[in-house]
Amino acid sequence: MLNFRFPARRAAALGLIAVFLATPAGADTAYPTKPIRLLVGFSAGGPADIVARVVGAKLGVILGQQVVVENRTGAGGTIATEAVARAEPDGYTLLMTPLANAVNESLFKNLRAKVGENLMAVAPLAETANVLVVHPSLDVKSVGDLIALTKAKPGEILYASAGRGTATHLTSELFNMMAGVKLTPVHYRGGGETLKDLLSGQVKVMFSSIAPVLDHVKSGALRGLATTGPKRDPALPDLPTIAQAGIPGFETRLWIGLLAPSGTPRPAIERLSSAVVQALKLPDMKGALAAQGFEPLIGTPEQFDAFYRSEVDKWAKVIQTVGITE
């Protein structure tokens, strides 16, 4: 289980969590009195949808009300995000938010839904690292080898991207920036197509979430170089982190959390957040998340708010530097 590491409050994080867990759920003990809608801005079967259904089912048991997952796809998740921002702030309409939502705040110029304006943080849920993988035909066995080859052939080495502004794209461009290299993107319309061409060798490099490529790395069909989290990943313990492999400070995580419309009563936020913490500590929940390559991510609403805003700032710099627009 992972606790929030949170830039301005690292030393106090555990203390804040302890205080939060000791706090009553709130004066409004009646909440919830009816089913809760949980909107997901991405299609069924994707990471956000899977986590929504796993966590939502457990929250339904804890809260005593059904949590209904609704996929409202389109426009990079912004359709669902804006729907939640417009919803009645009563605790009965929530948003499952992945990293993409924080990215969208900089990617889309006319975005009508932002945390701190018409959305507010409820709780973090889960996170996973990316893994840097290469096709075996590329003669590199380490991050250092890849950097050296890319510097020798600037712009010639292609990397697979699941689309402009996606996590695979931005993580790769952050690597370009911090390593001082130039890998060239090939944009696809989703992770399935990228993996297909990576396995065939049509593209040679990719930052992927761990679950889709894990078996291919273990079989040797792909070569894993490093993971992107703050520590070695339990799924690939033999691989160093990017930071350990020679790029100090490099860290990206694919995370998922819960948002609500701004103005949602504090007792409802506290009840929801408390239920999330309770759910994430259950052994079967840890197992269900681990099966999808995720680990629980526990924190208070305040911690998630600060983390979300730090992610907005982090990726805004990458988007501005690279010149990505939608």
Give the model confidence (pLDDT) of 24-48 as tens digits.
444 345 899 999 999 999 888 888 8
- The pLDDT score that the predictor gives to residue 226 is 98
> Tens digit of pLDDT for each residue in 213-268?
999 999 999 999 999 999 999 889 999 999 999 999 999 999 999 999 999 999 99
Structure tokens that stand for 115 in this block: 């945390």
Return the higher-pLDDT residue of 25 and 324.
324
Return the higher-pLDDT residue of 60 and 234.
60
Asked if pLDDT for residue 80 goes beyond 90, the answer is yes
pTM: 0.83
- Closest Cα partner for 1 from 277, 205, 302, 265? 277
- Closest Cα partner for 201 from 223, 182, 181? 223
pLDDT-derived band at 22, boundaries 50, 70, 90: very low
Please name the residue that has the structure tokens 């729907």. Answer: 83
CA angle 126, 131, 132 (to 5 degrees): 155
- The pLDDT score that the predictor gives to residue 101 is 92
Domains along the chain with CATH numbers: 2-128+254-322 (3.40.190.150), 129-227 (3.40.190.10)
Largest CA distance in the chain: 65
Radius of gyration of the chain (CA): 20
Amino acid letter, 131: V
> Tens digit of pLDDT for each residue in 285-295?
999 998 888 99
CA angle 166, 307, 16 (to 5 degrees): 150
> What does the pLDDT average to over 184-198?
87
User: Read out DSSP for 190-240?
Assistant: SHHHHHHHHHHTSS-EEEEEHHHHHHHHHHTSSEEEEE-SSS--TTSTTSP
Whether the link from the prior residue into 283 is cis, omega within 30° of 0, is no
Q: How many CB atoms lie within 10 A of CB 283?
A: 7
Please name the residue that has the structure tokens 């273990």. Answer: 218
> What does the pLDDT average to over 183-207?
91
pLDDT-derived band at 21, boundaries 50, 70, 90: very low
Please name the residue that has the structure tokens 């339904």. Answer: 60
Please name the residue that has the structure tokens 């959305």. Answer: 119
Asked if pLDDT for residue 13 goes beyond 70, the answer is no
**Any bridge partners for residue 36, and if so which?**
67
Q: How many CB atoms lie within 10 A of CB 304?
A: 28
